[in-house]
Amino acid sequence: MQDQEGISMSVRREALQILKNVSSGAFLSEELNKSRSENIALLRNITTGSLRNKTYLDYLIKKNSKIRFKKIHEDIRIILEMSLYQYIFLDGIPDYTIVDEAVKLTKKVSHKGSVGFVNGLLRNFMRTKDFEVDLKGKDYYLTRYSVPEKYFDYLEKNYSKDKLEEILKLNNTDDNFTIRANFTKLTRDELIKSLGVKYNVRKDMLTKSGIIVEDPKDIFKTDEFKNGKFYVQDSGSILISELLNPKEDSLVLDMCANPGGKTTHLLEILNKTGRVVAWDIKDMVELRENAKRLGLSNLEIETRDATIYDEKYNEKFDYVLLDAPCSAIGLIRRHPEIRYKEVDLESITCVQEKLLDNAGKYLKPGGLLMYSTCSVLEEENENIVDKFLEKNRDFEKIKTFGKDTFKTDATMEADGFSISLLRRI
């Protein structure tokens, strides 16, 4: 068994490796899921917090460093980011511990000169306590809250200054752990009563089936989970299937189904009647497993490329859900690495247009088509829908909460989803 000092060092060394992997293209959640750390909470906090604040932390490093930022080795930069994050944002870790751990870690990955640089910069920072971002306007927000420019431009265009800053602040805090009650087994109130014996739970106010669990430790070991009484899903994602709301005995197509959260929800809404056909270009192992755990049938799964139109499904479905592949920029709170990934919007929107064109052909007259993404950008939502409607005069928009395209955000305790509901006339 490692002593506390050994565990602490081990956590920071693993955090360094995880952040290097993420910098090379890995997904943070997948890296954390692979960890066997004895202090997974601290590991998650350091890695997630460092990524959420990376632009801000790098700004502070540039401001205090005598070495040009581009000349700082990746390992050293990440050690400084982690250390500054802990100093600025985490309570309960003494200053000397942060410096000492950073120095020890630097000794393991670099040379004596780097050790002196890290030690000196951190001590200077702790002496001056200069956390300020000396920038104005847009540049201030992009830096202080470490957000992509396109995302900020959307917020600035659509929200007041106060609401914009509230969303930016919330995006740098921990997201909710939200579950969806399986209505084929019990009501939301019954699940709240059952889980409330061990957990602090409350209703998600955005949806009819969502429940927010404040401290979900070991929730996957509960009988409620094992017996398929709930599914873990963000409330913005839950809302999509609830708004499509297929009637019982309907035939429903989920065109881009993986990993299957919305698919299983549609099956629950159908209440063991009708059928859901789920397509995805990936093999949907997770969907099969969850459908079995949740006790759901009437599901047909096909591995296929939905951008390729199939004539045999022409006007076959009563409802079509197209949760299209996208930039995923609405998930930056949950997946902070998305902030720094290069996005080819031209290629993405081209795929979205093809998928929506096909979705329209698969829908029966009088049927409903849900187009959704986990992006809030107009290029991936309103613009795509408007182009589709220009070409397809037999479709009309249905307002959701009074809007043609309804968008969720962190102030609703949800990720950023865009929801457009269309009817074929």
Binding-site annotation, residues = 280, 305, 323
Annotated binding residues for S-adenosyl-L-methionine, as ranges? 280, 305, 323
Structure tokens at 234: 């963000």
Collect contacts of 183-190 with beta carbons under 8 A, ≥24 apart.
183/209, 183/268, 183/269, 183/271, 184/268, 184/271, 184/272, 184/294, 184/295, 184/296, 185/227, 185/228, 185/229, 185/294, 185/295, 186/229
> Count of residues for the chain?
425
Radius of gyration of the chain (CA): 24
326 an active-site residue? no
* CA 176/CA 178 separation, integer angstroms: 6
> Residue by residue, what is the 3-state secondary structure of 241-299?
HHHHCCCCCCEEEECCCCCCHHHHHHHHHHCCCCEEEEEECCCCHHHHHHHHHHCCCCE
* CA 105/CA 10 separation, integer angstroms: 9
Structure tokens at 218: 């070991």
* CA 258/CA 309 separation, integer angstroms: 19
Structure tokens at 385: 């829908």
DSSP state at residue 172: T
**What is the number of other CB atoms lying within 10 angstroms of the CB of residue 17?**
16
Query: Residues 256, 326, 350, 374: which is the catalytic one?
Result: 374
CA 232-381-334 angle, 5° bins? 30
- What are the catalytic residues? 374
